Structure 1
Amino acid sequence: MGSPEERFHFAIDRGGTFTDVFAQCPGGHVRVLKLLSEDPANYADAPTEGIRRILEQERGVLLPRGRPLDTSHIASIRMGTTVATNALLERQGERVALLVTRGFRDLLHIGTQARPDLFDLAVPMPEVLYEEVVEVDERVLLYRGEPGAGSPVKGCTGDLLEIQQPVDLAALRGKLEGLLTRGIHSLAVVLMHSYTWAQHEQQVGTLARELGFTHVSLSSEVMPMVRIVPRGHTACADAYLTPTIQRYVQGFRRGFQGQLKNVQVLFMRSDGGLAPMDAFSGSRAVLSGPAGGVVGYSTTTYQLEGGQPVIGFDMGGTSTDVSRYAGEFEHVFEASTAGVTLQAPQLDINTVAAGGGSRLFFRSGLFVVGPESAGAHPGPACYRKGGPVTVTDANLVLGRLLPASFPCIFGPGEDQPLSPEASRKALEAVAMEVNSFLASGPCPASQLSLEEVAMGFVRVANEAMCRPIRALTQARGHDPSAHVLACFGGAGGQHACAIARALGMDTVHIHRHSGLLSALGLALADVVHEAQEPCSLSYTPETFAQLDQRLSRLEEQCVDALQAQGFSRSQISTESFLHLRYQGTDCALMVSANQHPATTCSPRAGDFGAAFVERYMREFGFIIPERSVVVDDVRVRGTGRSGLQLEETSKIQSGPPHVEKVTQCYFEGGYQETPVYLLGELGYGHQLQGPCLIIDNNSTILVEPGCQAEVIETGDIRISVGAEAPSMIDTKLDPIQLSIFSHRFMSIAEQMGRILQRTAISTNIKERLDFSCALFGPDGGLVSNAPHIPVHLGAMQETVQFQIQHLGADLHPGDVLLSNHPSAGGSHLPDLTVITPVFWPGQSRPVFYVAS
């Protein structure tokens, strides 16, 4: 067995449609490979098959499928996988029983008062992941010093507690044995106040393991945070998914000789850090796949663009993931996936159901893209398997994809090229619907050509993908135009210029391995260990010493854990966080003091208070200085630097770039001659004027008219995006423009609702969504509303129009109106309508109104 430099390093992203393999081979050169994630007729496991193909091609030795692979030439394997996500979506996890404090058996079934789909006439009860419930006789209370109470004990938060009833392990034993006889071997243990007093859960866990349960998830270990409902859901998800992951890992191991005994195997977690194979758990694995892409552009684009904030745009076959990086990873600590609320650190990745495989529809006079997807099988119509028309088909009809650049892996026998004919035929059926509507509608309009229909769907898809980017930037106080768009994913390069133009960005950065950047991110990622514990201290000078002490203890835990994995102290760095909120509110922000060094009035770890106030003001537009700040959690993130060092640089080119061919691509205004270049033949210094296509083995990059691409020293593509030419919009019926503005106006209303919900104190607003947000025209007519309470939406237009008529010209910039009068459009007195007129410079009357 040679040194690591003489062996293969594999980084594999197993996505929903494709599996991408990035391999650093002996000698340092790179091999990349893309294959279908599911192809049961040809192989059982895509990552194993990808490794087999590269080893076979590089070593020149035939390696039959189905035979365990020799690992003597493999140094490491890193993987991001959707196994946990798919198991959660498809409800294919382990049989689980929930152990909960007596009296709370229905707590997770009841959940919160959240109503995610207010307009659904048949409201289903939320599904739970557990099959049975066992009530545990135990009770821990916050100590109140009431008569008859025993001596208090101190929890890890510092709160005084009363152990009203110890755990009755004898009574519990028989119940657990009954679960085993019924075939349940995985448990989620969720006891009241275990975030601060974990001893009872630990006693239950010890008993369960002694009895033979194969997996036990203690909520106090999975995520020790306040709020039992999300903590309970997270523990259930961990118990539900971890055995499934372990089975996949064991199956993956069996594909290799010695079950990968001497190979370093790491899996990507949802927080953007790698974890050893044995420590990869279900609650931290849901965003395992998308996280690799964020790490990829954070370690490449961000550095190459001089530290300018970056928006990651990962467009795949099924969906598009967008994220933001400005020097540190942005995490969320409570998010819902497949109807399950998880309380665990995850990269803040917004997903929209618009990808290359998203289906195209014409509904009620609007162009609609997704959320339904053609998937990997049967795939888009052009895959020759009878699939529906999709975004990929629209791009193919427009000439933006060239069948000759794709391998012949389509059709029933997986030996045919893409079929433009199938795309045109499928899209023609939709075009007939569009033109039939235009001819017979209330305002007859001119017919659209097939290319105009395809272009319309592409524009609507672009607008759908802009919505989550605006939510990550504008809704949080960031200017999207100040960012670089880092585009990756197999389908992203076709839409990058249009997305950047729509958001006012002037630079697009496309990595030379953009079609496999998630896999590259895995190769560049570091191993992470996090330590977190709850807290109930106020953020005041009197508590700073305690906070520093707790942070130091957690930092020591992280360093010890990483050193146990073989990292030296010089390879390890740590970052401290405090989870802060205003007293009496429910919106806590996890803040780092990286940009705020310690002062005489802060903890030694940094000025977390200044960081909190700055971020709160940026995200919500106000602060509450009269309220004290509370620390909910203390967290330290330890990082062991372990990413591969890639030394690839592009060769300098002196001559002009070689034009492979010239094709015809459709843009606004018609077809244009479009040169085609091969990425592998381009070198440092080459400049390409749009329109043109740049093709490699895994993606196609479209440089639109008015844009210019250049190859930088690393071989990446940097595109300078020209300003969009102004276009006149009149009152004629245009279903494409109507669909685009529908997305834009809805995006504004949704952002209003999101901020109102996050900053609210009332449970009615935070969970029941008992509010409404909408935009109104200059006459007070409703333009768009987010999917909020219907009764408000019916009354809000009357309320806005009453105020316009009542106040007339007496409306000025800065005015905010508050109304609840029944004769002024109010529905009932507790409903308060806040109306804000919006003025344009130089205009004396409002151009539109927003209300909530």
Structure 2
Amino acid sequence: MSPDDERSTLAIGVDIGGTFTDFVVYDHRSVKTFKVLSTPGDPAQAVLDGVRKLSPAPGYRVVHGSTVATNALLERKGARAAFVTTQGFRDTLQIGRQTRRNLYNWFSGGVPALVPQARCLEVPERVDHRGHVLRPLAKRSLTSLIKTLRTQQVEAVALSLLFSFVNPEHERHIAQRLRDAGFFVSASHELVPAFREFERASTTVVNAYVSPGLNRYLETLEESLPGGSFHVMQSNGGRIRAAQVRQEGVRSILSGPAGGVIGAEYLARLAGFSQLITFDMGGTSTDVSVVNGVIHTTSEAEVAGLPIRVPVLDIHTVGAGGGSLARVDAGGALRVGPESAGADPGPACYGRGGQVATVTDANAFLGRLPATGLLGGALPLDRAATREALAALSREFAAHAAGTHVDLAEVALGILQVVNAEMERAIRVISIERGHDPRDYVLLSFGGAGGMHVCELARSLNVGRVLIPLAASTLSALGMLTANVFLDYVRTVMCPGETSFEELERRFVPMVEQAQEDLATQQVPVPARHVHCELDLRYQGQSFELTVPFSPVFRAAFHEQHVRCYGHKDETAGLEIVNLRVRAIGDVSPPRIEAQDPGPVDSSGAVCHERRLVFSSGPRSVPFYDRSLLRPGHHVSGPAVIFQDDTTILLPERDHAQVDTWQNVLVTIGDARAESR
């Protein structure tokens, strides 16, 4: 079944978070959402529970954002891997780039390699930078290599030979021998045939480390859920069939955050916005990104301190979420995160054994969450446990402040101020520090915890408008259903800038043919296929490149982009064409969301009750609006709380909200109106 051949099938988007696993279900008439608690010990269990709850008919589709590869890397619980390279280069992973993360810290250590030096092995061979064989592969040595790998009980092998991206024959032969011997093999010429030895080796090793576990996970899902087809979200914002991800697990390491950005851009476009800052606050972390009419990717990502050279969406992540733990450090200062309560035990207010105060506990204590609890009352709040967790934190403060008592409300407000500062700093990194003025953007909030914090963040950044979709807490899962098929290819060529357009076209031909062949394997219909070509260029003598579309005016495009990025250009300097890039796209029809005609402004009928909330200015009685009763055209003035089953929005004083025709809540930040442009 093609990705778009889905008119009579059920489409299910699944995003596994640290606390909840989100489901978005589209039956080609309407979109429905729900959540189940994540099962960190066995992530597949939450997915199976959710899909079985639907009892789908055969032929259903699942598009899945998996955290299996991510967790394996972050927790260092991947496959037992070995690294095989050219003789004389076994120390590549340990040497890295010889840079210190903290320049002035004499004791700053590097990130430990995924493969210990004892399992870094060599083979006698050598190819030069032009692909000429300087030393033929000693094929007899492969027998002893295989024996060593078996003795070391290796499960997966990362194979990265010197200059194999120019001439892969030696690497291809070794990979086949190792696969015939039963090993999982991650070969650099197949995964990332590009220069920069350490980064290529690192990416290949990460792939070998995470792919076997992801393979087993996907097998479990497919065997337990017969009758469905599985696609996996990639870090580049596209989906691919599960079979390919099994061999290239590194491509799905940031799949959840990528789904959120894709979904945010889709809903913002429907609402008429093209300039947005995405703000995804979940239970464990917060992900932010900038969209300037297009979604930006990068090939210079780093995860868990390890460089990864496959295309990923340009997303910045910080360890601040609803489940982030609060503590008092050795100097008596309040710290929040990056440690998280996760799904088990979760925040203290969940009543599942959590004893340490979290951001969610602070919001609960201040009265900002629905009295009936979360998930429409399915998860009641344990207020006694919340109070005790905050009291314990207050006692920690007292121990550092000569017995001074700190009021519990002050503790809770302090937690929110600290976590907001951390998230504001993250937004500044991807906006102001890169030359983007936040006042030119809409701040689009999603994730289960985002609505509680986004208006205050917008005020701090002087952003004038905030957009909160109806499916805010499950937007990543929705984004996975809207994502197209994306396949990325790269090849290092190192050509002079004077190389003719026709010669470059000729060099692109085999890459484009491979892309078309792979789109057919993904069952993308011919009319839905598109292929885009790009070039990585730099001035001669530079160390890094800029990517521009491949066209007859690619040189002028490079100079213009150099000005945008660095403020200057030199049209007299020589250029160097470093890499050819190809992106193959298979269009997919996203879920249809119908606009509704606006109605009256008066929203008083959606008020369920009033409750006392605590703000930094003091307590105040605030109306609670049931979002399911709000209709397009309704207006709500702050202070107010707008709640729904899976998320809550805090509307501070002076802010004003209205429901648009797409059922988004569009907030105008009162203090920022004069500055917003």
TM-score (norm 2): 0.92
Note if contact 1:475-1:619 (Cα within 8 Å) is conserved in structure 2: no
Match of 1:328 in 2: 294
CA–CA distance in structure 1, aligned partners of residues 414 and 52 of structure 2? 42
- For residues 33 and 121 of structure 1, what CA distance do their matches in structure 2 show? 50
Matched, 1:519 2:477: yes
Percent identity over the alignment is 35
CA 1:436–1:203: 2 relative to 1, 3 Å: closer
1:380 to 1:102, Cα distance in 2 relative to 1, 3 A: same
Q: Does 1:136 align with 2:123?
A: yes
- Answer yes or no: is the 8 Å Cα contact 2:44–2:217 preserved in 1: no
Q: Distance in 2 between matches of 1:617 and 1:172?
A: 51
* Counterpart for residue 712 of structure 1: 660
**Contact 1:266–1:276 at 8 Å: present in 2 too?**
yes
Long gaps (5+) in structure 2 = none
Within a 5 Å distance, the mapping from 1:449-848 to structure 2 comes to 449-540=407-498, 542-592=499-549, 603-604=551-552, 607-625=553-571, 627-650=573-596, 652-654=598-600, 656-657=602-603, 658-723=606-671
Give distance in 2, aligned partners of 1:520 and 1:562: 23
Mapped to 2, the partners of 1:31 and 1:241 lie a distance apart of: 32
Cα distance in 1 between the residues matched to 2:175 and 2:194:
19
| Counterpart check, 1:287 vs 2:254 | yes
The alignment status of 1:264 with 2:229, answered yes or no, reads yes
Distance 1:630 1:403, change over 3 A: farther
Judging changes above 3 Å, is the alpha-carbon distance between structure 1 residues 416 and 16 closer, same or farther for their aligned structure 2 residues? closer
Alignment of 1:229 with 2:187, yes or no, is: no
Task: Find the aligned partners of 1:343 and 1:575 in 2 and give their Cα distance.
Answer: 19
| Matched length | 663
- For the residues of structure 1 that align with 2:617 and 2:223, how far apart are their CA atoms? 56
Q: Tell me, what secondary structure is at the counterpart of 2:636? A: strand
* Distance in 2 separating the partners of 1:94 and 1:361: 34
Counterpart residue type for residue 17 of structure 1? T
Indicate the residue corresponding to 1:776 in structure 2.
none
2:82 to 83, 91, 97: 97
Work out whether residues 18 and 35 of structure 1, in 8 Å CA contact, stay in contact via their aligned partners in 2: yes
RCO (CA 8 Å, sep 6+): is it higher in 1 or 2?
2
Gap change, CA 1:238 and 1:709, over 3 Å in 2: same
Of 369, 386, 394 in structure 1, the residue corresponding to residue 362 of structure 2 is 394
Q: Which residue of 2 aligns with 1:238?
A: 207
Amino acid at match of 2:144: G
Matched to 2:384, the amino acid is E
Separation of aligned partners in 1, 2:472 and 2:154: 44
Counterparts of 1:618 and 1:125 in 2: how far apart (Å)?
33
Q: Is the 8 A contact 1:320 1:465 kept in 2?
A: yes
Distance in 1, Cα, partners of 2:526 & 2:356: 55
Residues 302/120 of structure 1: CA separation in 2 closer, same or farther (3 Å cut): farther
Do the aligned partners of 1:196 and 1:534 also contact (CA within 8 Å) in 2?
yes
TM-fit CA distance, 1:480: 1.4
Shift of 1:626: 5.2
Distance 1:303 1:725, change over 3 A: closer
Specify which of 92, 105, 116 is matched with residue 101 of structure 2.
116
Whether the aligned pair in 1 keeps the contact of 2:375 and 2:646 (CA below 8 Å) is no
Aligned partners of 1:177 and 1:211 also within 8 Å: no
For residues 795-826 of structure 1, give each alpha carbon's deviation from its aligned partner in whole angstroms, at most 9, with x where no partner exists. Answer: xxxxxxxxxxxxxxxxxxxxxxxxxxxxxxxx
More deviation, 466-475/663-672: 663-672
Tell me which moved more, 284-293 or 449-458: 449-458
Gap change, CA 1:646 and 1:586, over 3 Å in 2:
same
How far apart, CA to CA, are the structure 1 residues paired with 2:88 and 2:146? 18
**1:495 CA displacement:** 0.6
- 1:179-220 CA-to-partner distances (Å, cap 9, x unmatched) read 23543242111111112111111111122222332x211111
8 Å CA contact 1:313–1:323 kept in 2: the answer is yes
CA distance in 1, matches of 2:171, 2:526: 34
- The answer to whether the Cα contact below 8 Å between 1:617 and 1:623 also exists between their aligned partners in 2 is yes
Give the aligned residue type for 1:367: L
Letter of the aligned partner of 1:392 in structure 2? T
CA contact (8 A) 2:100 2:109 kept: no
Q: Give the Å deviation of 1:100.
A: 0.7
In the TM superposition, 1:167-186 aligns within 5 A as 167-180=137-150, 182-186=152-156
CA distance in 1, matches of 2:621, 2:556: 55
Q: CA deviation at 1:703?
A: 1.2
Question: Do 2:355 and 2:385's aligned partners in 1 also have CA atoms closer than 8 Å?
Answer: no
Describe the superposition over 1:774-797 as per-residue Cα deviations: whole angstroms up to 9, x where unpaired: xxxxxxxxxxxxxxxxxxxxxxxx
Structure 2 match to 1:792: none
Aligned partners of 1:497 and 1:702 also within 8 Å: yes
**Partner in structure 2 of residue 417 of structure 1:** 380
* Letter of the structure 2 residue corresponding to residue 667 of structure 1: F
After the TM superposition, which of the residue ranges 659-668 and 676-685 deviates more from structure 2? 659-668
CA separation of 1:538 and 1:479: change in aligned 2, threshold 3 A: farther
Measure, in 1, the Cα distance between the counterparts of 2:510 and 2:654. Answer: 56
Q: How much is the aligned-residue C-alpha RMSD, in angstroms?
A: 2.6
Give the 3 Å change call, closer, same or farther, for CA 724–400 of structure 1 in structure 2. farther
Q: CA deviation at 1:48?
A: 1.2
In structure 1, distance between residues paired with 2:626 and 2:555:
52
Aligned-pair CA distance for 1:656: 2.8
The separation in 1 between residues aligned to 2:393 and 2:121, in whole angstroms, is 54
User: Cα gap change, 1:352/1:39 in structure 2, threshold over 3 Å: closer, same or farther?
Assistant: closer
How far did residue 500 of structure 1 move?
Answer: 1.0
**SS of 1:536's equivalent?**
strand
1:318-351 deviations in whole A, cap 9, x for unaligned?
Answer: 1100111122221121222123221111111100
Q: 1:140 to 1:110 in 2, by over 3 A?
A: same
What is aligned with 2:160? 190
